[in-house]
Each structure stands twice: as structure tokens, then as C-alpha cells.
Amino acid sequence: MRLTDIMSNAGLSSYAEVALILFVLAFIGIVIATFLPSRKREMDRAAHLPFDDAAPTSPTQKGDRP
Amino acid sequence: MNAQLDAFTYDDDIVRKFLFATFVWGLVGMLVGLLIALQLTYPALNFGPILSFGRLRPLHTNAVIFAFAGNAFFTGAYYSSQRLLKARMFSDTLSRVHFWGWQLIIVAAALTLPLGFTQAKEYAELEWPIDIAIAAVWVTFAVNFFGTIAKRRERHLYVAIWFYIASVVTVAILHIFNNLSVPAGPLKSYSIYAGVQDAFMQWWYGHNAVAFFLTTPFLGLMYYFMPKAVDRPVFSYRLSILHFWTLVFMYIWAGPHHLHYTALPEWASTVGMLFSVMLWAPSWGGMVNGLLTLRGAWRKVVDDPILKFFVVAVTAYGMATFEGPMLSIKSVNALTHYTDWIIAHVHTGALGWNGFLTFGMIYWLLPRLFQTKLHSIKLAELHFWLATFGMILYAAAIYSAGLTQGLMWRAFDDVGRLQFPDFVETTMRLMPMYLLRAVGGSLYILGMVLFGYNIFKTWGARPATYEEPVIRAAPLARTFPDTPTVATGGAWARFARAGWHRRWEGLPVTFTVMTALAVIVASLFEIIPTFLIKSNVPTIASVKPYTPLELAGRDLYIREGCFNCHSQMIRPFRYETERYGEYSKPGESVYDHPFLWGSRRIGPDLARVGGKYPDLWHLRHFDNPPQITARSIMPPYPWLHKNPLDFASIQKKVDVMAMLGVPYGDAVANAPEQARAQAKQIAAGIAAQGGPADLADREVVAMIAYLQRLGKDIKLAAAGGGQ
């Protein structure tokens, strides 16, 4: 008996449906976690991260190849 | 308590290196594109074997994807990651290894592809030693990137970093699994997959290369550089998170839409279509998020070429991701598949989205990296308009070409016969559009030259030594500030506390694992059934392996890149079966390592060309196609007629095929002898038809043997069993 025979007769199609449900649930979880009102401050802070690139305090001249 | 601040600098030297590479390879890749576009209208521009269309087309695609877009992504990723993570790259050495390794791979590609070394899988043409090098360099990049994340000084990973993580992980998975092959020489290998399965793997890879090499990395760049250029945060950070997760969940399933109406099982094709249509939503969510980032700043777009580039880039992303789902609907795909419409679609994405985003990003970077003013804003403005008009001209021309040819292929006259039975008629109709496309492309390239001039002049005005600002930031606290204090005591309490720490400390790890999981599970569910469930690939008893000579001929077909213009997959439509014969079955390509179904018909389908013309016809046709088919734009292949066939290598080819499970029987012992015998027979036949004598040891005989075999086996079954 080859692996293809085993797989063909194993009736695996339900696994795909189970996976679909798990994935949808995971996604719903992500949506809820993302839109929790309590996370508003955290989200706002995160959105501003590109502007918080730690401004230089003391520029120094340092040799560098062009 | 105030923690000690770390002092550190960013490595911008590596960013500058990648920036130069982006421009140089971009120009090279686009010039190759212009050459192959012109070859379609002026076949005389096919200069010898090395510069013929079939070998240069993969060079163009690889150069613009992996060299231009790849280096652009690295430029932006090295700049933004260091700043978003508040850390210098993990290792300067690894950064350099990554840079030089990647450029060497590009050089290797630029040498091997024109020389005819190819795996014949789109965007995965490079042969196995280069594939191993790509994997090694990619791992170097991954180690460097994750190392930087590990030593970061900002707890929260900005969404751009998420997109980079997904790209780094998924590209590695895609690259490794699609390129699994067994070497049959220093620069020759056979895919371990065959036929339907190989096609499935290839388009799982091909589609997701678009997703995780050209889309998610550039979305990461968009989410960093657009807010920076507008000087306001992204419209909705929450939307960007959803954008990320929906893309990760859905993109990986969409690959089969490249194989509608082929021998792929219908369920797979339908799954691919559904997920592709669903992808429209997150893609447009992302586009809207990008455009609305400009809210209240639209007047800045008037004066700022950088913002203009970004606006068109995001709009092009929106158009391409609307069109993609539309093209993946089966009935639309029936018209557009194999036509120039697909070429137009990818160029909207590549020229508009990847190109414009890269230009905007680099114009923004130039003054910051070279610590001077941008040489000329006016030239940048001119670049923008040239590139925009070039792209519109390109797209309009080539959309019309695709629609025209698709409609001509399926046209029947009043009596129910094909209205354009001569394939070449449908090609000739496209010539004016092809020319217009070349004009559009030239404008885009002209813009690229201005871009280069601006880069060069800005670089020329750099200070004698670059200033390296010292950045101060606090290292990450070992515990998350919000960590609840758990009462000491029981094992459960200790476990809960440890788990809490791990969850926060290991966020990037969790993240990477979740992304990889979403991608891998989806891939398994979609791909495994065609490998392991029998009903997916019904076998046909009369289909036998290629003879050793035919196999050698098939490798010549691969070397010359014939699959770039000729499909071997007849779809089950009346207008296809009338033109080419019985539609292709999955069981017919079970010995095809790799599959050669093709994705574009610049010439006719060849799945059933076997026996259609005499051997002598093929010989003359290879010498000079227009002499046989008037106005044919196929390049001549006179060298097939002159080159001696390498009989010695055939045994190794057969052995590797046998190892992959192709039932070769006694050919495993004496492949070259069998090949010689068959070659003699064909050469004698050609001589008897009035052709030249002494062809028995020439490459063209193997090629003819292969072509004459195509599609024959299934006819034997119809005739009653075969041999």
C-alpha cells in the first residue's frame, strides 16, 4: 500500500473545513483585539513611531566613505 | 528610576550602497526590457543565441524583480528598520555579505540566463548553484534583520516591520520549496515535481513572489516613507494591522488563478479564484489607508514630486489589485490568459507601484543620505511626468494588444470556422501596439536616466565626510512595565509569570511563527491533495516517458526559452480545440520535469504539434522561420543546425529522470546508443525528404524528435491501446 492510497482513502476533506473555521476564528480574534477601544492610546503611539527616530543629541564628525 | 541611555549610530553606508545598486540594475533591467519589446516588432534584433528573445525575457523579469525591486526593498528596509527599531543593524559584516552576495547573484544571473542555463520556471529560472547562493544570502539577511529586532530599543514593532518579517520568512519558504530539484550537471537540474504538481508549485511560488517580494515589502516601505514624506502618521494604524493579517491569510491561496482551465483540478482553480476575489478588500483597504494619509496635505502634492510619486504608486497598487481579482475570475481569465493583457497587468504593478514607490522613496532619501540638497527638484518633476506618460502609453497600448489578440483567437465566422485560423494573423495585428509600447517604455527609461543624473549630481555635492549623528535611546527594560506582580508561591503562579514575560519578550518570535503558520498551513491544504490524492491526477496508460533523444531535445527547448512564447496547454474551449486539437489532460504531463505549460502565447500552442508538420519543415523553420511562415516574428535558430549534439550528457539526464521515478527501463543502461539510433533514423528521413544529409549528430535532430513527440501519446490511446 502506497502513501497515495492511504491518503486517498483517509477521508481528509474535513480537515480543510476545520482549518477554515480555525482561521476565521483567528481572524475574528485579530479584528477584535485590533479594535478594542482600550487600545486606542497604544495604537496612536505606534502610528507615531516613524517620527520618533530618537533625534541626535550630539552630532560628531566621523570619517565615512562616500 | 532612570535607565542608562545607550549611544549608537545608524549604518547609512549600507543604505547608500543598495541605493546605487537599485538604480544601476533598474536601468539595466529596463533596457533589456526595451530590447525584447523591440525584438517582437523587429525580429532582426535577435542577435545570435545569447541575445535572442527566449533567453533575454527571463533576464528582464529577473533583473527588474530581484535586482531593481529587490535592491530598492533592501535600501528602504535597512534605512527604516534601524530607525524604527532604534538600533544599528545587528552586524555590519552581515550587511556587507548580504549586499555583495546579492549583487554577485545578479551578475551570475546576467551571465547564465543568456547562456541558456535555466530551470524553465518563471521567476525561478536560475539554476541550482545560484539557488543555493540565493538561499544562503537570504538567510544572512534574515539573521541580520532578526538580530536587529532582538537588540532593538523600541518595544513595539511598527507595522512596516511586520511586513518585512512576513516577506523575509515567506520568500525563504517559497524559494526553497519551488526550487527543489536534482542536479544533472554543474548548471542543469530537473525539478523533483512533474506536470500538474510542478505547475501548482510553480504558480504557488510565482504568485506569492509577487505577493511577498513585490507587494508586502513595498507596503512596509509605504507605511514608513509615506508618513515621513507627508509628515503625518498613517491614516489608520488599525487598518494597517488588518491590511497585514488579511494579506498574510489570503495571498498564499491565490496562486491557482494562474492555471485556470488548464489540467489543474477544478477545485484548486476555484479556491484560487475565491481567495483572489477576497484579496480585493484588504488591498483596497491598504490603498485607501495610503491615500488618506495625505488628508489635509493634498496641496503639498502640487509642489512635491516625492508625494506625486507616492500618490501614483498607491493608485497603481489600487488599480493592479482591482484588476488582479478581476482577472482571476474564470470567465474573464478565459479571455485574458496567454495574452498581453497579463503583461499590461504586471507592468501596471511593476512600473506604477514598485517603480514609483522606489523613485519617491529614493528622492526622499537622497538629501538625507548624502547630507546635501537634492540636486534638482525640477528634474525630479520632469522624471515624474515622463514616467507617468510612459506608463500610461505602455499600459494603454498593451491592454489593447491583449484584448485584440484574445478576441481574435476566439472569433468564429458565420459558418462556425475559426475566423483567424493563421496564428500569425493575430500577431501581426499587434505590431502597432507593440511599437507604441516601446515608445512608452522608452519614455519611462528616459525618466530613469534623469533619475540617475539627479542621484549622481546629489552624490557629487556630498560633504567630505558624512556626519554620523549619535543617537541616544534607552535599552529595552527586561520586564514589560505593565507586568502584573503575581503572588509568589505555587508552581502555577511561577508558570503564569514566566509565560507573561515570554509573551511580551517574544513578540517578534510569536509574530514570525504566526505568519509562517498562516502561510504554511494554507500551502499544505492547497498543494498536498494534488500530490497525495489519486483522483487529482488521473493517469493515462498510453503516456510513456520521452526517449533519450527527445529528452535531450526537450532540454534544448528549455535552453532556448521556447516556453516564453509557446504554451503546451490546450484549454477545453471549442476555439482552442479547433485550432490546436484535443484539450490537454493532467495525465499527459506526468513525466514533465519541469512542466512546460507556458503562460504566454506569442506563438501558437505546441501541445499537439507532434506529427503536424514533416521533419524537414521543422529544420527549415528553425533555420529561418519567416521563410516558412510569412511574417513570422519567431527568431531564427540556425545554430541548432550547426551545433553538435552532446550525446555524452544524455545518460546522466536519463539517470536523474529515472531517479525521480520516470520509468525509463533499459534506457538507463544505454541512453546515448538509443539516442544515436533514433537520431540516425530522423536524419535519414530528412535526407530522404530532400533535406541536407549528415544531420544525425546535430542538435536540431533532438529538437525535432521532441517536437514530433508532443501530444502523440494520447492519440495512441484513442487509436486503441498503443504499444
Phi and psi (nearest 5°) for B487? -55, 130
pLDDT band at B489 (very low <50, low <70, confident <90, very high): low
Residues from chain A contacting residue B532 (CB–CB below 8 Å)? 3-4, 7-8
DSSP H helical ranges for B596-649 = 615-623, 625-628, 638-642
Tell me how many residue pairs between chain A and chain B have CB atoms under 8 A apart: 104
List, for residues B126-155, the tens digit of each pLDDT value.
999 999 999 999 999 999 999 999 999 988
The count of other CB atoms within 10 Å of the CB of residue B710 is 22
Q: Inspect the interface and report whether the beta carbons of A47 and B234 lie closer than 8 Å.
A: yes
Q: Which of B120, B106, B132 is nearest to B22 (CA)?
A: B106
Residue B529 has pLDDT above 80, yes or no: no
Looking at residue B422, what is its pLDDT? 94
Q: pLDDT band for B206, please (50, 70, 90 cuts).
A: very high
Write down the pLDDT at residue A59: 41
Give the model confidence (pLDDT) of B581-614 as tens digits: 999 999 999 999 999 999 999 999 999 999 999 9
Yes or no, beta carbons of B13 and A64 under 8 Å apart? yes
Q: Calculate how close chain A gets to B444, using CA atoms only, in Å.
A: 28
Q: Which residue of B has its CA nearest to A12?
A: B529
CA B657, distance to chain mean position in Å, is 26
DSSP one-letter string for B258-319: GGTTSSS-HHHHHHHHHHHHHHHHHHHHHHHHHHHTTTT-HHHHHH-HHHHHHHHHHHHHHH
Largest interatomic CA distance in chain B: 97
Of A15, A23, A60, the CB nearest to B249: A23
pTM summary value: 0.92
Q: Cα separation of B25 and B506, whole Å?
A: 38
CA torsion B363→B368→B371→B376, rounded to 10°?
A: 20
pLDDT tops 80 at residue B682: yes
Query: Cβ neighbours of residue B151 under 8 Å, at least 6 residues apart?
Result: B87, B90
pLDDT for position B503: 52
d(CA B189, CA A52): 50
**HSE-up of residue B343 (Cα within 13 Å, Cβ side):** 30
Give tens-digit pLDDT for B157-193.
999 999 999 999 999 999 999 999 999 999 999 999 9
C-alpha distance across the termini of chain B, in Å = 87
Q: pLDDT by residue (tens digit) across B686-720?
A: 999 999 988 999 999 999 999 999 998 888 766 65
Rounded to whole angstroms, how far apart are CA atoms B82 and B89? 6
Element (H, E) at B398: helix B377-409
Contact indicator for B216, B166 with CB cutoff of 8 Å: yes
This complex has an ipTM of: 0.80
Task: pLDDT band for B676, please (50, 70, 90 cuts).
Answer: very high
pLDDT in tens, B101-130: 999 999 999 999 999 999 999 999 999 999
Residue identified by cell 485590533 is A34
Residue B669 burial class via C-beta count within 10 angstroms: exposed 0-12, middle 13-18, buried 19 and up:
exposed
Q: Does residue B479 carry a pLDDT above 80?
A: no
Residue A12 main-chain phi, psi, to 5 deg: -90, 0
Judge: A46–B84 Cβ closer than 8 Å, yes or no: no
The model's pLDDT over A3-62, given as tens digits with 9 standing for 90+, comes to 777 777 777 677 778 878 888 898 898 888 888 888 888 888 889 999 987 554 444 444
pLDDT reported for residue B487: 47
Residue B510 has pLDDT above 90, yes or no: no
pLDDT recorded at residue B723: 39
What's the whole-number average pLDDT of chain B?
91
Of all residues in chain B, what percent carry a pLDDT higher than 90? 81
A48 close to B (CB below 8 A) = yes
B227 neighbourhood in chain A, CB within 8 Å: 47, 50-51
Residues of B in contact with A63 (CB under 8 A): 465
Cβ proximity of B593 and B662 under 8 Å: yes
pLDDT-above-70 percentage for chain B: 94
